[in-house]
Amino acid sequence: MRSSTATGTTTTAEAAAVYRGRFAPSPSGPLHLGSLLTALGSWLDARSRHGQWLVRIEDLDTPRSQPGIAQALLATLARCGLESDEKVLWQSQRHAAYEAALQQLQRAGLLYPCSCTRRDLAHGPYDGRCRQGPQGPGPHSLRLRLPASGGFAFEDALQGTQRGAWAALGDPVLVRRDGLVAYQLAVVVDDAFQGISNVVRGADLLSATGWQLALIDALGLPQPRYAHLPVLLGTDGQKLSKSLSAAALDALEPVAALFQALRLLQQQPPAQLANANIQQVLGWAVDQWNPLALSGVADINEPLTPAD
């Protein structure tokens, strides 16, 4: 077994500790190569540490969550040999937990109503103008009051030391004007609920981590380790969306899809592996997992042609 992983060099003590990782897609479209890359990267990091790997469906944004998409997404993952070690957690069934967290923040005086619309705040971070009371009539969103000074710092296993000032982030919205719980709150509450020790996810979420650290601190939750994987960009240089432009993986053979994802994760699978079965591909990948090949890589361009 290799001694390096995306979330730190393995020591004897760490190897004995429980590693719990996760993959948390939102069901706004079918699984594409970019999301398989994230799923596989988090799965490999967990398995190479003899850890557990959980799946959570982030279906809070109900208008955008299409019925049946989540099930199709789970089925595609399963065809690629990636299955949750525990019952899949659905955010749409977690409202009581989010409400409890909001009440805890409310009691601590850390929530305030904000009347600002997106148009009011077109430029830069939120300046806290509603901290002393909303500037206009409702409906209001609810924001978290960040500390008045200072900032955050954390060590990302792949992207290096990250730091930022609270003022540069601005107070995040935790409940939207339409009443939907925001991603920042749900992800923090659910990672703690699932006992996640290592968050391995796409680098598009790197900039949101500061808000999540503030929430983790405010709620008194344990802080996971972070490793942000590169984001796969389309040939046009834009992030692949789960829209029609990103071809669903269903059309691709699972082994071919995994082989391609391993290449994109810079793991250099040998050509003969393209003719192996799923268990052989995954077994090779766990043994050879070298996340340091991705150090400092924040995005990858999708190849024009599939694996040859």
What does the binding site for Zn ion look like in residue numbers (CB under 5 A)? 114, 116, 130
Taking the complex as a whole, how short is the minimal distance between the CB of residue 116 and Zn ion, in angstroms?
3
Judged by beta carbon, residue 130 or residue 213, the one nearer Zn ion is: 130
Taking the complex as a whole, how short is the minimal distance between the CB of residue 64 and Zn ion, in angstroms?
24
Sequence-distant (6+) residues with CB within 8 A of 62 are 92, 180
Amino acid occupying residue 299 = D
Taking the complex as a whole, how short is the minimal distance between the CB of residue 183 and Zn ion, in angstroms?
19
Judged by beta carbon, residue 67 or residue 138, the one nearer Zn ion is: 138
Judged by beta carbon, residue 114 or residue 285, the one nearer Zn ion is: 114
SS3 of the chain: helix, strand, coil, percent, to 5: 40, 20, 45
Backbone angles phi, psi at 207, to 5 degrees: -70, -15
Judged by beta carbon, residue 129 or residue 263, the one nearer Zn ion is: 129
Alpha-carbon gap, residue 116 to 131, rounded angstroms:
11
Judged by beta carbon, residue 116 or residue 232, the one nearer Zn ion is: 116
Instruction: Count Cβ atoms within 10 A of the Cβ of residue 172 and give its class: 0-12 exposed, 13-18 middle, 19 or more buried.
Output: buried
| Joined tokens for residue 3 | 């001694």
Taking the complex as a whole, how short is the minimal distance between the CB of residue 215 and Zn ion, in angstroms?
19
| Joined tokens for residue 98 | 């989010």
Taking the complex as a whole, how short is the minimal distance between the CB of residue 130 and Zn ion, in angstroms?
3
